[in-house]
Amino acid sequence: MNAPKNLLTEETSRRAREHRLAKIRHEAKEHGQVSDFTRLSERDPLSKAELTGYYGTPVLKRPQWTIEIPLYFFVGGVAGAAALIAAVGKLSSADTRLVRQSRWLAAIGGLVSPALLISDLGVPSRFLNMLRVFKIQSPMSVGSWTLVAFSNSAVAAAVLGEFNKRRGGRLVNVLTDGAQIVSVLTGLVLATYTGVLIGATVIPAWNEHVGTLPIHFAASGTAGAATILELMGNESKALNRIAIGAAAVETAMGVSIELSQTPPSESLKSGIGGWAMRGAGVLSGPVPLLLRLLALKSRRSRISLRKAAAISSIAGSLLTRWAWIQAGQVSADDPSVPLQLRRRVSSSGDGMDDHENQKDPR
């Protein structure tokens, strides 16, 4: 091995020892006792856990996903919810413009999503290997199959819908409805499974919240779809109601994250991830909720208030996805949760890190 050349000489080592003794004597004289120990314990030398585990290095690996993944969470969520809006809109004979636009929103999302997912892969040309097997116990596998089914059905529904308009016919009608139904069923999975995807992992900040993450993502995707459709010029009251419901759920999610006190939740509340999460919560929860409630009252600025709410929701939804990934990175770096170090501190109470006072044996 290539040893670094900073071995202490006899002389410096002797001086360091004498210096240490002088320091102990000084402290004893000043305070009547010595509190600055350098030794760990009287017992076996290796028996005591450092409060940092192994040099404080992470036990877990950081998620290696790139920015495409939070973007995919957003686009997929929007697309899934848009398919639902298209189907329910058609069912309740809402205006054809809304139905048509939401179909296309779902279709475009269904095309952009796989592109994002593929570009994050280490070997993009092997995307189709995702379809080699189906594994119910792997949310990544379930999600890939869902996405493929969704993309196909959402695009089919949009294209057949156009065809239907030009020259209808019983067959085209049935086919359109069939594609629409498949896109709704898969769309619902698409908008929610991403919460399971990150929740069912070893990352403490994520698995701690696995019971609410999918609901959070469902609300986020729904808000995204409704508000994008609003910004495309739809003033349907139904969209406003959907957005109000989503904002209410997001408000509840924001509050529940803020109130969670467990150690794994710490990374959701501190650092950039924490502030992003907080900002995302405000932008997608109370702000649009308030603006929309105001819009219900005010006649004059109704449209502009709804527009402002929509923009806030979209920004919030994007930020939400990013904040969850960011918090996961920080959470992976912290060895104290997987090693349960905090529990040790509270039970023993006297851990100390004495690296500062030790010398380098190299």
Partner 1 sequence: MSGTAFLTDSTLCIGCKACEVACKEWNNIPSDGFDWKGFSYDNTGSLGHSTWRHVKFIEGGVVAGLGGNSPDLLSWGFSSDVCKHCENAGCLEACPTGAIVRTEFGGVFIQSDVCNGCAYCVVACPFGVVERNPDAGMAFKCTFCYDRQKEELKPACATACPTESIKFGDIDELRGEAEDRMARLKQAGFNDVYLYNPQDSSVGGIHAFFIVRGDPERYNLPPSPEVPTTYLRKGWVSAAIGAGLMLAGTLFAFGQDK
Among residue numbers 242 through 271, which ones bind partner 1 (CB under 8 A)? Answer: 242, 245-246, 249
Contact 295, 309 (CB under 8 A): yes
Q: Report the alpha-carbon distance of residue 284 to residue 267 in Å, rounded.
A: 20
CB nearer to partner 1: pick between 38 and 171: 38
228 binds partner 1 (CB under 8 A): no
Q: Which of 47, 261, 346, 347 binds partner 1 (CB under 8 A)?
A: 47
DSSP character at residue 320 = H
Q: Report the alpha-carbon distance of residue 81 to residue 213 in Å, rounded.
A: 16
Q: Which of 71, 154, 157, 189 binds partner 1 (CB under 8 A)?
A: 189
Number of chain residues interacting with partner 1 (CB under 8 A): 107
Q: Which of 119, 152, 164, 207 binds partner 1 (CB under 8 A)?
A: 207
241 binds partner 1 (CB under 8 A): yes
Contact 183, 157 (CB under 8 A): yes
Binding to partner 1 (CB under 8 A) within 60-119 occurs at: 60-65, 81, 84-85, 88-89, 91-92, 94
CB nearer to partner 1: pick between 197 and 318: 197
CB nearer to partner 1: pick between 96 and 169: 96
* Piece of the chain touching partner 1 by CB under 8 A; list 9-17, 26-34, 257-265, 277-285: 9-17
Q: Which of 19, 29, 166, 237 binds partner 1 (CB under 8 A)?
A: 237
138 binds partner 1 (CB under 8 A): yes
121 binds partner 1 (CB under 8 A): yes
Contact 246, 226 (CB under 8 A): yes
Q: Which of 43, 167, 297, 299 binds partner 1 (CB under 8 A)?
A: 43
Q: Report the alpha-carbon distance of residue 106 to residue 226 in Å, rounded.
A: 12
54 binds partner 1 (CB under 8 A): yes
Binding to partner 1 (CB under 8 A) within 278-307 occurs at: none
Q: Report the alpha-carbon distance of residue 286 to residue 282 in Å, rounded.
A: 6
Binding to partner 1 (CB under 8 A) within 303-362 occurs at: 328, 332, 335, 338-341, 344, 354-355, 358-362
Give start and end residues of each alpha helix (H) in 137-264.
139-166, 170-199, 204-207, 213-231, 237-259
Distances (CA, A) of 63 to 191, 224, 311, 320: 21, 25, 29, 17
CB nearer to partner 1: pick between 66 and 171: 66
Q: Report the alpha-carbon distance of residue 298 to residue 278 in Å, rounded.
A: 29
Q: Which of 231, 238, 294, 315 binds partner 1 (CB under 8 A)?
A: 238
CA trace torsion 145, 146, 151, 153 (10° rounding) = 110
Among 226, 196, 234, 201, CA closest to 213: 196
